[in-house]
Amino acid sequence: MLNIPVLESIDKIIDWSKALKVELERALQKFIDDFKRAFSISSRGDVGIKTIPTNILTVQQGSDTDPIADAWTVYSLSKNKKIIETYTPDFEIVDRFKNTSLYRYKIKRAEVKNYLFEQKEPVKFSQEYIGILAEEAPEFVKSYDKDGNLVGINLVAYIGWLHAVIKSLIDEIEKLKEAK
């Protein structure tokens, strides 16, 4: 940090301002370099956090602690939706659910060259999960990129599907109880 000197002459003022300019340029360059290491913005305006963006927001995966969030809110107010009809699940939805395989798996983190840090990240696997494969999921829960390539499952649609299955099972349990 520069100390402000007692400026007794124009030469001291010029020398001090030159030194201040150099320090400010260094500080600005450090900020820019740090920013570039943490964030990148594509020509389309997509943002990457410690990675090169491939979607609107892309967060580095495969780090020591995979990115998490405190919440992910989905616009679910009626003012944000065009209601087509009230959906009443039937037992067929349970069959669709039952016929979708469930897997125990670890996500492979491929070795990639991180262009922001000019280093290779090693191949590693995440913690163990239980879930479905996008390739085997019902069409209405699949998620596609802008080019139409399957990239995963739409969690909002998937949760809606799970909710419908649970409601259908509850209805069946109630019918069985009434039949007794």
- For residues 108-116, average pLDDT: 51
pLDDT for 112: 46
Map out the domains of the chain as residue ranges. Answer: 1-60, 70-180
Tens digits of residue pLDDT in 73-97:
666 778 877 888 888 777 777 888 8
Confidence of residue 176 (pLDDT cuts 50, 70, 90): very high
Q: In the structure encoding, which two tokens stand for residue 99, read together? A: 């016929």
pTM for the model:
0.53
Tens digits of residue pLDDT in 11-57:
878 888 888 899 899 888 888 887 777 888 888 888 888 777 777 77
- For residues 128-152, average pLDDT: 88
